[in-house]
Amino acid sequence: MQTGKKCFSDLKLSLCFTCAFFLPQIAKGLKLTFDTTFSPNTGAKSKLTKNNFAVGYKTGDFQLHTNVNDGSEFAGSIYQKVSDKLETSVNLAWTAGNNSTRFGIATKYQLDSNASISAKVNNASLVGVGYTQTLRPGVKLTLSALVDGKNINVGGHKLGLGLELEA
């Protein structure tokens, strides 16, 4: 029990504001996170802790998406359905301050109505491959692998198995 002292504790409040606007072919979104802290002991101030903005455009067989996170990470991606059997995608991201650029390409090929293969590679030499088989309506099995091309002999590569069930 304390006597002769007043005890104050910090009071913290986080507000998150998200909005999205959709037009027939354009989607826009904005997310702001504002943290305010009342602390009689430290005199902490309120601040905007996160801000994210995204814009996307879509047509029948083409999609473009760009986003900015916290004013320091910029990214964009392009997706195109080339034919009924072939889909491709490219993404690019850049982080200000450390000049870190990331780049990746991916493709998916539909072998038949029940099976597809996919592959991706990025500038860090990570190579991914996958095979998906529809076992019956509502049940899909996926086998995948991710290999670090820079460190083939070191290990740490990944294998995956997925089972998708739809109700």
How confident is the model at residue 40, as a pLDDT?
56
3-class state of residue 151 by DSSP: helix
Encoding tokens for residue 14?
A: 């986080």
Query: pLDDT confidence of 154, banded at 50, 70, 90?
Result: confident
The type of residue at 76 is: G
The answer for residues whose C-beta is within 8 angstroms of residue 53's C-beta and 6 or more apart is 29, 30, 31, 67, 68
How confident is the model at residue 1, as a pLDDT?
43
Query: pLDDT confidence of 50, banded at 50, 70, 90?
Result: confident
Phi, psi for residue 105 in degrees, rounded to 5:
-130, 150
Averaged pLDDT, 100-105? 93
Closest to 122 measured CA to CA, from 98, 142, 93: 93
Give dist(CA 65, CA 51) in Å, integer.
17
Helices (H), the chain: none
54: left (phi over 0), alpha (psi -120 to 50) or beta: beta
Averaged pLDDT, 7-19? 58
What letter does residue 28 receive in the DSSP assignment? Answer: E
pTM equals 0.70
What letter does residue 44 receive in the DSSP assignment? Answer: -
3-class state of residue 154 by DSSP: coil
How confident is the model at residue 26, as a pLDDT?
73
How confident is the model at residue 131, as a pLDDT?
98
Quick check: 149 pLDDT over 80?
yes
Q: Where in the chain are the domains?
A: 1-58
11-15, 124-128, 151-155, 158-162: the lowest-pLDDT one: 11-15
Give dist(CA 125, CA 149) in Å, integer.
5
Which whole-number Å values give the CA distances from 15 to 24, 130, 137, in the listed order? 30, 40, 43
**Is residue 117 within 8 Å of 109, Cβ to Cβ?**
yes
45-49, 57-61, 134-138: the lowest-pLDDT one: 45-49
Q: Which residue has the tokens 């802790």?
A: 49
